[in-house]
Structure 1
Amino acid sequence: MATTARLTLDPAFRIGPVERRLFGSFVEHMGRCVYTGVFEPGHPLADADGFRTDVLELTRELGVTLVRYPGGNFVSNYRWEDGVGPVEERPARLDYAWRSLEDNRFGLNEFMSWAARAGVEPMMALNLGTRGVAEALELVEYANHPGGTRLSDLRRAHGVDSPHGVRLWCLGNELDGPWQMGHKTAGEYGRLAAETARALKRFDPGLSLVACGSSNSAMPTFGAWEAEALESTYEMVDYVSLHAYYDPSDGDVDSFLASGADMEHMIRSIAATADHVGAKLRSDKKIKLSFDEWNVWYQSRFQGESSLDWTRHPRLIEDAYDVTDAVVVGSLLITLLRNADRVGVACQAQLANVIAPIRTEPGGPAWRQSIFHPFALTARHARGEVLRVEPECATIPTAKYGEAPAIWASATHDAATGEMALFVVNRDRRGPCTLEITLPEDLRPVEHVELTDDDLSAVNSADAPDRVAPRPGTGLSQEGRRASLTLPPVSWSIVRFAPNSPQE
């Protein structure tokens, strides 16, 4: 069943700037994300420090700008001191989060070296689960102080003369969750986070700090947690975190395709909660949001941490992503752009192997999963200002989110070049949609790329690494200020427009 939708692109409809930190990723000591993912000494393509250069190249191609480390649930039982100094002297520890054995061959300084080679900003998480203010201050001093103190000189003795200069710090991780080592009530967490934030700002007032928000929108304390925790921390933090994973395993495909509706509801709910706290405190400050864990995750296939054995870097939730998953990831990126006035940081979880856009085999190849492509193309072409785009379109009934728009879109405008990029998803499984676009004067389409497939269950693999890939779109036409194209069912597309040259 073919439908028609309409939208208008106008550079005056500005939401906010495209924050480069929206294109973040996440490296946690979980499964094979670190070991045989980004780090594999002895691999044929490993560099002198053991970093897989094929993964580094793919990370740069993906367009990642920021990476959160070292967790995640892992951080709430982590002793950062175990991962610095001579490798042969580092202790092996139990990781209670994922019931794994952590040998600490890869730690803070290795991560910072890897981040520099990948060209990404580090975002560090602090352990406020089983540790506290003193340990957080010690880590920040080791990482960021130039020298002349015990901890900064210890870093220099470890071969890192210059400070790392980490600017963005998470005050713990998911501490509202009873699965977390050191789980706390909102009041307990708010007091500890405020004490830690106050101390860190004494060290360096320019640090940016992220307070823990709810682990997901299904938590019974969703909203209430943020309200109570922010009352204690509001004037000392810069962001509050959001986490969301979307599971296609229940067979409700229409709701899954409309996952962006839930993400947008979360963003707007927590933004309103933060603004309420600000009003209550009579503060002029506006807290931004850090959506520092998001992705598609076949969560119902995971049997839980208690099902795991105590082993070193096991194969853990290495989901193979299909075409539908890629379309949903594209729609979640659209949602983040649509809310760029409030979301200042976002991290897709995770980077390699564990629910990741990049997969690897130990000693073998690395390849792009289907979800790699919408992320890479959005990160590459979203520039300048995000524009408000509200398509006129049909709706799709969903069991979880009610009537959801069939067409989900955002756009950006780069004033320096005059270029616009339209990112659009057709969520409708029933048929294609003809999209009619009203353009500003003197713009012409220069590129149309789409990601879809006749087999929506197709995936990439080591043997077929390019089975699912973007392809040139067809049927794009323009007449005056009107452009038109056909969006296939269950598809993600980007259309780029550029100013006509003077001779035209």
Structure 2
Amino acid sequence: MASPARLTLDPAFRIAPVEPRLFGSFVEHMGRCVYTGLYEPGHPAADADGFRTDVLALTRELGVTLVRYPGGNFVSNYQWEDGVGPVEDRPSRLDLAWRSVESNRFGLGEFMTWAGKAGVEPMMALNLGTRGVTEALQLVEYANYPGGTRMSELRRAHGADKPYDIRLWCLGNELDGPWQLGHKTAAEYGRLAAETARALKRFDPGLSLVACGSSNSGMPTFAAWEAEVLEAVYDLVDHVSLHAYYDPSDGDVDSFLASASDMDHMIRSIAATADHVGAKLRSRKKIGLSFDEWNVWYQSRFKGESSLDWAEAPRLIEDTYDVTDAVVVGSLLIALLRNADRVKIACQAQLANVIAPIRTEPGGPAWRQTIFHPFALTARHAHGEVLRVEPEGPAISTARYGEAPAIWATATHDDATGEIALFVVNRDRRGPCRLDVELRAPVRPVEHLEIADGDPSAANTAAAPGRVTPRPGTGLRMNGRRAELTLHPVSWTLVRFAPASPQE
């Protein structure tokens, strides 16, 4: 066993409240995320609106609070008007982002009905790739104005008498990327985003707006893009977006396990860039970060959009996730919580089938992928305030990120219940690690769960949907206000502590 690690849990060491919006997801018209994922009329589990009730139940169990829609790359070629009104009158269109045929049977109204049933907040993306200010204003008027105008009366004629009142809007998607339809320079995008934001704020000053940040930290314009865009929009927007995907396909397992080091660095870099712009503009406003696309993605297996044949709802990027992937997803959630003072929104991409925690078969079952479990447990138990937790202990050597801590952790404290939840991963593949926890509050353990397996490549499938699940942990011992944990190699662990009675 490696030398022990140690950390301190003190309810006084607070970073920021846990934002419910950190547990967002993403639904894009891509592959089978919508069609045969969320929506499949005629499925044995479909309700009267055509929504798969098995997927709705899993969405609620996952703990999703917010869903970004309808893209993604898809939105930069999307005409939202195609997806409203009588379904039989809606046109089919070519989606140039994913070389698919879009039937438009599922659109804004269907999404809002689904969101209501799922109990999630909508986060709507605007097309600023091939469209502009006029179309954005028309969509917001359609969605949010009560009635008496052309667009609001059109919504009412389509069956939605009350406005949808969508409060959170993305000003485009990944427009720094040359793959994006309507790709722009920072100057071009900054001006368009500012014009759009100014118009939307005039319509409703209470709308919350997200400007496009870099598509990933490897972009040649990373941080420079944010600096130029934010100078144009700083007083008009509330957040800037971050996107990151981590690919295990190259065989560098240690670097993959340390992916949260990159996410953490990316967050800190963009926060510093935003603060620099704020200082330059002599503004006291703090721009929030919206990490509205993140996940594990076997991206190197994808041969690119040009390799796709035109099809409706094809099987696209349906990665099967294993135990190692689940541990990395758990560690990325830890990174988001550790930066809760700046990250106010986060969306795991995507919800169903496409690099997703939920998988389905047309006409068949739905099941939880391995990555479902750390998300669901974190969403369920991370409440109150995020605590500053700084583990000390052994490190692992990685080719991509240098020395990375073997133990990566965060914790939350709920003032209402007194509960402390500790979330921790052991990135070390070589063996178990002992973790000594100093507890600066009188507490007792009430739950100990872990995701680990003798075979880190174990995965869940339609034939074996329960192969990998959280199991009761072993190796937890208490000694007064100290806890000793044995963490299995390549593992994710949750320990919940409740207030101890005076006799304990």
Whether TM-score is above 0.5 comes out as yes
In the alignment, residue 151 of structure 2 is paired with which amino acid?
L
TM-score normalised according to structure 1 size: 1.00
Alignment correspondent of 1:223:
223
Deviates more, 1:317-326 or 1:1-10: 1-10
Aligned: 1:451 with 2:451:
yes
Q: How does 1:18-417 map to 2 (within 5 A)?
A: 18-417=18-417
Q: Deviations over 1:238-262 (max 9, x none)?
A: 0000000000000000000000000
Counterpart Cα distance in 2 of 1:410 and 1:221: 31
Q: How does 1:424-503 map to 2 (within 5 A)?
A: 424-502=424-502
Counterpart Cα distance in 2 of 1:470 and 1:418: 24
Counterpart Cα distance in 2 of 1:196 and 1:442: 52
Q: Secondary structure at the match of 1:3?
A: coil
Q: How far off its partner does 1:2 sit? A: 3.0
In the alignment, residue 191 of structure 1 is paired with which amino acid?
R
The question of whether the paired residues in 2 share the 8 Å contact of 1:25 and 1:346 is answered with yes
Counterpart Cα distance in 2 of 1:202 and 1:184: 25
Moved over 3 A (4+): none
Counterpart Cα distance in 2 of 1:3 and 1:248: 27
Counterpart Cα distance in 1 of 2:420 and 2:165: 35
In the alignment, residue 448 of structure 1 is paired with which amino acid?
H
Q: Deviations over 1:299-322 (max 9, x none)?
A: 000000000011000000000000
In the alignment, residue 458 of structure 2 is paired with which amino acid?
A
Q: Secondary structure at the match of 1:261?
A: helix
Q: Deviations over 1:243-284 (max 9, x none)?
A: 000000000000000000000000000000000000000001
The question of whether the paired residues in 1 share the 8 Å contact of 2:2 and 2:394 is answered with no
In the alignment, residue 287 of structure 1 is paired with which amino acid?
I
Counterpart Cα distance in 1 of 2:248 and 2:218: 16
Percentage of identical aligned residues: 83
Q: Secondary structure at the match of 2:28?
A: coil
Q: Deviations over 1:184-210 (max 9, x none)?
A: 000000000000000000000000000
Any stretches of 5+ residues in structure 1 without a counterpart?
A: none
Counterpart Cα distance in 2 of 1:138 and 1:500: 56
Q: How far off its partner does 1:442 sit? A: 1.5
Q: CA RMSD in A?
A: 0.6
Q: How far off its partner does 1:502 sit? A: 4.8
Q: How far off its partner does 1:475 sit? A: 1.4
Q: How far off its partner does 1:55 sit? A: 0.1
The question of whether the paired residues in 2 share the 8 Å contact of 1:65 and 1:121 is answered with yes
The question of whether the paired residues in 1 share the 8 Å contact of 2:97 and 2:305 is answered with yes
Q: How far off its partner does 1:503 sit? A: 5.4
Any stretches of 5+ residues in structure 2 without a counterpart?
A: none
Counterpart Cα distance in 1 of 2:280 and 2:473: 51
Counterpart Cα distance in 1 of 2:472 and 2:26: 30
Alignment correspondent of 1:13:
13
Counterpart Cα distance in 1 of 2:101 and 2:441: 61
Q: How far off its partner does 1:501 sit? A: 2.9
The question of whether the paired residues in 2 share the 8 Å contact of 1:56 and 1:118 is answered with yes
Counterpart Cα distance in 1 of 2:10 and 2:2: 27
Q: How far off its partner does 1:3 sit? A: 2.8
Counterpart Cα distance in 1 of 2:115 and 2:205: 24
Counterpart Cα distance in 2 of 1:393 and 1:54: 43
The question of whether the paired residues in 1 share the 8 Å contact of 2:10 and 2:441 is answered with no
In the alignment, residue 430 of structure 1 is paired with which amino acid?
R
Number of paired residues? Answer: 504
Q: Deviations over 1:290-343 (max 9, x none)?
A: 000000000000000000011000000000000000000000000000000000
The question of whether the paired residues in 2 share the 8 Å contact of 1:3 and 1:432 is answered with no
Q: Secondary structure at the match of 1:6?
A: strand
The question of whether the paired residues in 2 share the 8 Å contact of 1:100 and 1:312 is answered with yes
Q: Secondary structure at the match of 1:393?
A: coil
Q: Secondary structure at the match of 1:159?
A: coil
Counterpart Cα distance in 2 of 1:239 and 1:421: 28
Q: How far off its partner does 1:440 sit? A: 1.9
The question of whether the paired residues in 2 share the 8 Å contact of 1:32 and 1:353 is answered with yes
TM-score normalised according to structure 2 size: 1.00
Counterpart Cα distance in 2 of 1:257 and 1:269: 21
Q: How far off its partner does 1:500 sit? A: 1.2
Q: How far off its partner does 1:134 sit? A: 0.3
